[in-house]
Each structure stands twice: as C-alpha cells, then as structure tokens.
Structure 1
Amino acid sequence: MNSKTKQAEQLIERLYTQAKQISPALFQEWAMEEASKIVAFDSGIWGDGVGATKIHSLFLYKQSPEMVDNYGKLLMSGLADELTIHIINNLGTAVAQQDFYSDWHSTEWYQRHCKQFSMEHSCAMAFYKPKLQLFTSVAYYRADPARPFTEEDKRLKEIIDPHLRESYELCLLFNLYKDNNDIANSWEQQSIALTDDEGYIYYCNENFIQYLQTSDIARNAVIHPNLWKKFKNQRQLSIDQTHISLTRIENNQWLISLQPIDNTRQLTDTEQLIAEDLATGMSYKEIARERNRSVSTIKNQAYTIYKKLQIKGKDELTQVIKPKEAG
C-alpha cells in the first residue's frame, strides 16, 4: 500500500467519525477540503440529482457563486456535455477530460463554461442509488493547464468519492437524531425521509422507499410540486390511508414522516369482534348464530365496519384486521 492509498483510507475513517461531530452545512466543505489534500485539486462541485443528468442540489467548493448561473444552471436544467454523459454511462469510474477529449481547451464547452472559472482540468465520477433513484456526481478541478489529472489521481478518487456520499448521509441522520430522540430510537420502524426546500429527497429509510413504490406522491426522488406546496402550507396531510407530516429541520432541510391511519380505532368493541370473525373467514350466518343475532343485523354491522375502515368488503378486511386466533 503506497502512502497516498493509506491517506485515502485514513480519510475514509475520519469521514464517518466527523459525520457525527459537525453539521451537514459544514460537512461537505470539510470533506472536500480533506480530499483535496490527497488528490490535490483547487476547486470542485458536488451535485445530487435524479434520473440521468439533471442536478437539483449543487455544493460549490472554492468556486465562484457566479459559476451556478453558468455551468451550474446547465447541470440543473439537464443539459450536459459529452464528458458528463460519458461519466453517467460509466458510474463508479473516475473520468478525466483527456480520457475523452483530444484537445479539451479548444472545445466550445470549455471556452463558454469552464475557462472563466479556472476549470482547466477536471476529474469527475458519478454513482447512483436505484431504489431512491438518486444520482450523485463529484467533480474535482485544477486551475493549472499544465497539471492534468493522472491515473493515480483517478484511482484515489474512486477510493474516496463513494464514501463522501455515504458519510454525508450519516451526517444528515446523526444531526436529525440529536434533536429528535423519538426518531433516533425508532428510525428503522418509521417511514422517514429528508428533503431540501424544493422537495428533492436526500435520503430515506427502507420503509419510506417501500411507500414510494406503491404511492404516487413522488417521482424520481422528487415530491410532486403541487403536493409539495400543500405540504409546506399545511404541514400535515392524509393521503391513501397515510398521515403525512412535514417538519423543518434547518433552513433548507425538511423531515417527512409517514404514519398509517389506523381506522380500526373507530370500531366499537362489538364491531372489532365481528371484524375479527369476518377476517377469520366466518360467514354472516355463522357469526349470527354464534352471537344470537339475526343475519341482517350482522350484515348491517359489517357494512358499518367496512365504511369505518374505508374498504369495499370482506376481501380487503384481512389487510387491516388481524384474524382471530383459533381457540
């Protein structure tokens, strides 16, 4: 193991340690600064997006804010040069300009979007989380035209970058835990997601992912705009038997939590017992005989049960009522 590889592995350990000690707002700056000491880059961008090339959140490391109005807007609009597309088509592989362009500095893209920001050489890599459909891209830039990124630089980047995103997620969660003990103690049992101010999902647990697979509140890790507007105005909504609440964590960060609506609480004790009998598979006639009631009475009570539970009939009952155990 050479010294640079050892430094990269030591940085990975520190990423996960530091993630529990500083805020998300400071973590990305610190992480990029530490990575620059190993790969030696002058500036960089860290973008999160959805689908293919479209970036929705862009962190600038030692870059001019004007860069967002130029190159950044291209990324956020979904436009990309051939190099970016090549990076996306080779997820997990670091790509430098000289790998793709024979004369990068003569290209129109460089002249129009990179030269003014001293992006003389770049080395970028992207990775993708299929379940969440979240795309992350990290690019390093050098300002010296005579210092292109080497194969060794790319190798080190491939060691470090996947852990930038993973440790950042840990930082988000840990800072959430610090101020929300109830969430910290039952994170895996709840359905929770973190979003930015525009409704783009940064992170969510497995339960929330499962909810997204059966719900249409979001597409490609983005809450539908009209629905997001309602969330921010009302902070609480009920959709498809699910109670959804929204809580502001920081200026640009929100917590979405899901809670199934338990309509069984509306049932009387008698209705609960009849519902359990029906869920077990008993007929109206059998229940009527057991309870010394008429069949029409049991049918009327069953109708009331279905209405309270917002289901169509016996076929859906077992989805919300646990059948009575034998004996």
Structure 2
Amino acid sequence: MTTPLNFAASDPEAFISKLYREAARVPPNEYRVWALEQLSRVIDFDAAFWGSGNSADIHFHYVCHIGLDEHYAHHLQKTLSINPIRDAVINNLGKPVNMQDVIADEDFYQSQLYRQLFQPYGIERILAAGYFDQDNGLYSLISLYRFERQQVFTEQERHLQERLVFHLVNAASHAFFLHLHAGNVLHTKKHAASAICDLNGCFHEVQPRFVTLLNEYFPNRSSVTLPFAMGKDNSTVQINNLAVSFKAQGELMTVTLRLPGPLDLLSQREAQIVEWVCKGLTFKEVARQLDVAPSTVSNHLYRIYDKIGINSRSELAQLVDSHRQV
C-alpha cells in the first residue's frame, strides 16, 4: 500500500494549503491526478477514481484515476444499477460512505457487483464521496480503494475525507480559473467570457458573463451543457450571432464567447492572408505560400480593407491586435 509521508495525516492543513498554492503550477488537465497523488499522502489508499458528469443522469463525462486502467470508468458506469453505494452517496453528498456500512462483508464479497467490478481490479475496500456543484451543475464522485481486505477504512479516515473532498473539488476549480487568467484567455473586454467544458459540453468552470451570454442568445438552453456542438481545437465559428472559439486543454476544452468583430466577416483564405501580412510577410512571400501571383494577394488585401472598413496596414495591425485581446 501507499506509504504516508510526513505532512499527511499529521497535518491536513498543509495538504489543503498545497492544493491551492500549487494550483497555478500544475497544468489544469493534470491537476486532478496530481491532487489524488497528494491525497494518498493524507489517506492511505492503493487506487482512486475521480469522475464528473451531469447530475441528472450521473454519467461520467470526465474521469481521472490512479492505480486503475482506462476501462474502469466504463465498468463502473455499467454496474451503477447494482451498486448499493450509489444511492447512499447521492443521498449523503459531501459525506463519504464506507461500503461496509452499506452492505455486510459476507454479502458484498459474494455479490455480482464484487465479482464483476471490484474483484478483477483487486479492490477490497471502498470509501466513496459525492459532491454537487450548484454553479456548474456537475456531480463529482471521488472514490478511494484498498487492495487488502483487512485494511478497513476507519471512521477517522472517513471524517478526514469528508473535510478534504470539499477542498479537492474547489481547488480543482481554482486551478482552472488560474489557468484561464495566466493563459491570457480571460481579458478585460466586457463582451468576452470563457468556460471550461468536457467534450460532451458539460461545464466544469464557467465565468458569470459566459452564463449571461448563453441566457441571452440561447434562451431555451439546458442549464448544464453547451447549447451547441463542440468545435475543433483552435477554431472560431459564429453561432446565434456570437463568435464562439474553442481551445483544447487536454481532454477538456476552453470555450470563449464574444460579440463578433469586423475580422469575423473574413473568409478562411482572407483571414490567412491577414495573419501573414501582420506577421510582416511581403506580397511576394504571401503569394508563394498560396501559390498565386502577388497581384492576387494585393487584390485580396484591398477587398479585405473594404470589407472591414479600414484603409491601411497599420489600421489592420491595430484591429488584429485588439481582436486577439478578446
């Protein structure tokens, strides 16, 4: 089993402090695994699962784990209907549930659930906690597992997890928002706002302005998912008179909403020409990139000027610079 380190059970305050202190240093798509590894220094366990999803159906759209394989989430989902700890966790959100308090050992180790889900992974003891975030509509499950049957989770460890699960979830939220600020995604422009979603469109972190824009432009939307399909990485599309940008963050996606600007009127080819011109390429250099004559590039550029209402490269550069800040 995992060997506890010094700052573990003797000082949970140090663990909590580290969760928030290191949030800006750990990449957001790695933060949950990192946090579980830190938790293993506080509560001794062999494997752990952290899944999040829509609270309405408790389907896990985003999962991470340590000591398990990539198929575990699927097996867990398939056996939820026969898992007695499920209802106990849902009915006691924020309070960890010990499997042995839900079902007697002699019944558990003879059960279909044990044979199908836990025994193949060597899991003998389970301590699970659910958490519901009213701001983003996400349900999170954090389960700790031990491989030795005689190593039961104690009441002291259950109370400790109860205290720490709040900080795990909120520190993960804190880490995402720090990343948004540090990555220059959130700007001072009042008409732009961002959210971090999984690939199914479920919210993980949401700026209040993002919700305001969704309510205004998608009045009939669901409250827990994006009202449009997830786009490709580094793409921008117009939906319901909003410019919607997508940027991948590991298995998650940063989605930014803003009111369209003049550059959003450009075609893909025109936007490409603008990018190269603003990088300092000459008409000849751009022409070589596109395999066209320099005069064609010149004609494209002047049509771009006319389309967005400017008259010079300096105005174009200023417009592009302001566009990048939204």
Q: What TM-score, normalized by structure 1, do the two folds share?
A: 0.69
Report the CA distance shift for 1:118/1:189 in structure 2 as closer, same or farther (over 3 A).
Answer: farther
Farther-moved stretch of structure 1 (51-60 vs 189-198): 189-198
Q: Quick check: which one's helix share is greater?
A: 1
Larger radius of gyration: 1
- In the TM superposition, residue 249 of structure 1 has moved relative to its aligned partner by 3.4
Distance across 2 between alignment mates of 1:200 and 1:243: 19
Note the aligned Cα RMSD (angstroms): 2.7
Matches within 5 A, 1:48-59: 48-52=52-56, 53-59=58-64
SS of corresponding position for 2:127? strand
Query: Cα deviations across residues 178-222 of structure 1 (Å, max 9, x unaligned)?
Result: 221xx4443887432111233222110222234445535752522
| Aligned with residue 176 of structure 1, among 166, 175, 180 | 180
Distance across 2 between alignment mates of 1:32 and 1:141: 12
Answer yes or no: is the 8 Å Cα contact 1:194–1:255 preserved in 2.
yes
Which residue is 2:67 aligned to?
62
Report the CA distance shift for 1:32/1:187 in structure 2 as closer, same or farther (over 3 A).
Answer: farther
Q: What 5-or-longer segments of structure 1 have no aligned partner?
A: 263-327
Query: Cα deviations across residues 84-118 of structure 1 (Å, max 9, x unaligned)?
Result: 12101111111000111013212211111111112
Distance across 1 between alignment mates of 2:41 and 2:8: 10
Report the CA distance shift for 1:8/1:217 in structure 2 as closer, same or farther (over 3 A).
Answer: farther
Query: Cα deviations across residues 234-289 of structure 1 (Å, max 9, x unaligned)?
Result: 732231xx514122133433222223469xxxxxxxxxxxxxxxxxxxxxxxxxxx
Farther-moved stretch of structure 1 (203-212 vs 118-127): 203-212
Distance across 2 between alignment mates of 1:116 and 1:96: 20
Distance across 2 between alignment mates of 1:188 and 1:117: 50
Taking only the aligned residue pairs, the percentage that are identical comes to 19
Question: How many matched pairs?
Answer: 251
Which residue is 2:99 aligned to?
97
SS of corresponding position for 1:223? coil
Q: What TM-score, normalized by structure 2, do the two folds share?
A: 0.69
Distance across 2 between alignment mates of 1:28 and 1:47: 10
| Aligned with residue 31 of structure 1, among 25, 35, 47 | 35
Answer yes or no: is the 8 Å Cα contact 2:194–2:256 preserved in 1.
yes
Distance across 2 between alignment mates of 1:176 and 1:127: 23
Distance across 2 between alignment mates of 1:211 and 1:93: 35
Distance across 1 between alignment mates of 2:124 and 2:30: 27
- In the TM superposition, residue 125 of structure 1 has moved relative to its aligned partner by 0.7
| Aligned with residue 47 of structure 1, among 43, 51, 74 | 51
**AA matched with 1:95:** V
Answer yes or no: is the 8 Å Cα contact 1:11–1:34 preserved in 2.
yes
Report the CA distance shift for 1:252/1:30 in structure 2 as closer, same or farther (over 3 A).
Answer: closer
Which residue is 1:21 aligned to?
25
Report the CA distance shift for 1:8/1:63 in structure 2 as closer, same or farther (over 3 A).
Answer: same
